[in-house]
Amino acid sequence: MRACLAIPFALAILAMPVANAQSDLRVSDDRHYLVTTEGKPFFWLGDTAWELFHRLNREEADTYLQRRVKQGFTVIQAVALAELAGLSVPNPYGELPLKNNDPAQPNDAYFRHVDYIIDRAAELGLHIGLLPTWGDKVFKNTWGAGPEIFTPASARVYGRWIGDRYRTRKNIIWILGGDRNPRPNTPDVEVWRAMAAGITEGVGDENKALLTFHPAPNRAGTGEWFQQDAWLDVNMFQTGHCRETNSYDNIRAAYDRLPTKPVLDGEPIYEDHPVCFNAKDLGTSSAYDVRKSAYLHLFAGAFGHTYGCHDIWQFYSPNREGVNGPRAFWQSALDLPGAAQMQFVRRLMESRPMLARVPDQTLIVESDLSSSERVQATRGSDYLFVYSAAGKAFTVRLGTISGAVLRASWFDPRSGKVESIGKIDNSGARLFTPPRTGYGQDWVLVLDDDARGYALP
């Protein structure tokens, strides 16, 4: 008999431990995770709010931040020099970020609004993944407004200025890049290295800047250019907005790269976004799309995950022209089902010792299925999780984690409910069949060393 248990929404949020936003974060001793200065694991549950500083006034920003806190998010990713005409269209208070488009002449009035949002986020327990600029200010390409304003010299000056401005804010994670891959045989790599050096100088040794880089889609993430750079603390991916990609393999490869750095997907498939597969239009992405991306990437070795919504990154509203066909104004898009379901993946990951968790496909006999039916496994020393993307049955090789007897249960990523299976011997191989199968019927098997007495997730 299966017992169905659920934690009420409000209680689930209250139960989530939130890292103190006034504490520094650092890379864990094993180099695969982020932890607070007290050594507590930090789960990155991000949202791509790229135009937050540029398009929202303070009241609107409060509405957005408070909703994301209630949904369990921990990191808000936003851009100081925004993508959507960020140098020529002022913020809601009529201010542009730079004078004469000069990185050496920031406009203090514009950045006072940025200050407010960063400080408000800190009050709410949120970290800001702060992009000093979108990548079109380095390389405009065909999908950016630009203009290209940065050289290595000006990037260092601006980096030093913005690092110094926010040196006392302990809730900042610095993100360079902004949807651009450095071009070969250009100064691009040196521009970003100079900006990183400037930020590090501005923040100061006593505060230790935590830096990563947001690339365009590629196979190696940020590590393609900066894996050996000491300033790069986290290897970030963008995996784009197509369905059924095998991004989990890229995540695992990055997890194994040396020197070891934590890895996560900083821009996966968005909810409510036009999607493609083999150049065919497949309609609009769903909660299932974003949910599957989160579980597959986390179980492949990511230490956290970023959610995104097409209506929210641009803060689509009645007085703005939408980019690439948004369907809902941002206020209503805050409550799309995929955003609400992100709290469940966070709750699952935090329910067991996170810092002991490793990816482990050897647990699964059916370890090489394609994305549509993918089965992905991760474990600690005394627990394991197996994600079945379409409810396909799978066989677990037992005996890897501790315990003579294991307690088994199914975790429902749609609702956060848990269905108990019972207890099993921790030996041999065993076939597990999820409660339901088919498209959109993803499930997580949870096996625990019964002697540990873990609460159901």
Query: What is the DSSP code string of 354-422?
Result: GGG-EE-GGGBSSTT--GGG-EEEEE-SSEEEEEETT---EEEE-SSSS-SEEEEEEE-TTT--EEEEE
Distance CA 88, CA 49 (A): 19
pLDDT at residue 15 in the model: 37
3-state secondary structure of 333: helix
3-state secondary structure of 162: helix
Burial class for 88, CB neighbours closer than 10 Å (0-12, 13-18, 19+): exposed
CA distances from 198 to 152, 170, 236, 346, 383 (A): 10, 18, 20, 34, 43
Q: Is the dihedral of CA 270, 271, 276, 277 positive or negative?
A: positive
Distance CA 304, CA 25 (A): 14
Q: What would the pLDDT profile of 199-252 be if each residue is shown by its tens digit?
A: 999 999 888 899 999 999 999 999 999 999 999 999 999 998 888 888 999 999
Q: What would the pLDDT profile of 307-321 be if each residue is shown by its tens digit?
A: 999 999 999 999 899
Distance CA 104, CA 98 (A): 8
Work out the number of other CB atoms within 10 angstroms of the CB of residue 103: 25
The more confidently predicted of residues 207 and 72 is 72
Q: Are strands 34-36 and 358-359 parallel, antiparallel or unpaired?
A: unpaired
What is the DSSP-derived secondary structure letter of residue 451?
A: G
Provide the residue type at 329 as one letter: F
Work out the number of other CB atoms within 10 angstroms of the CB of residue 51: 24
Q: Is the dihedral of CA 348, 351, 355, 357 positive or negative?
A: negative
* Pair of tokens at residue 122: 């800190």
Residue-averaged pLDDT of the chain: 93
Provide the residue type at 414 as one letter: R
Q: What would the pLDDT profile of 242-282 be if each residue is shown by its tens digit?
A: 888 889 999 999 999 999 999 999 999 999 999 865 556 67
**Secondary-structure breakdown of the chain: helix, strand, coil percentages, each rounded to the nearest 5:** 30, 25, 45
Q: Is the dihedral of CA 37, 383, 394, 286 positive or negative?
A: negative
Q: Starting from the edge strand earliest in sequence, which strands make up the sheet with 34-36, in order?
A: 25-27, 34-36, 41-42
Flag whether pLDDT at 19 surpasses 50. no
Evaluate whether 345 touches 291 at the Cβ level (below 8 Å): yes
Flag whether pLDDT at 20 surpasses 70. no
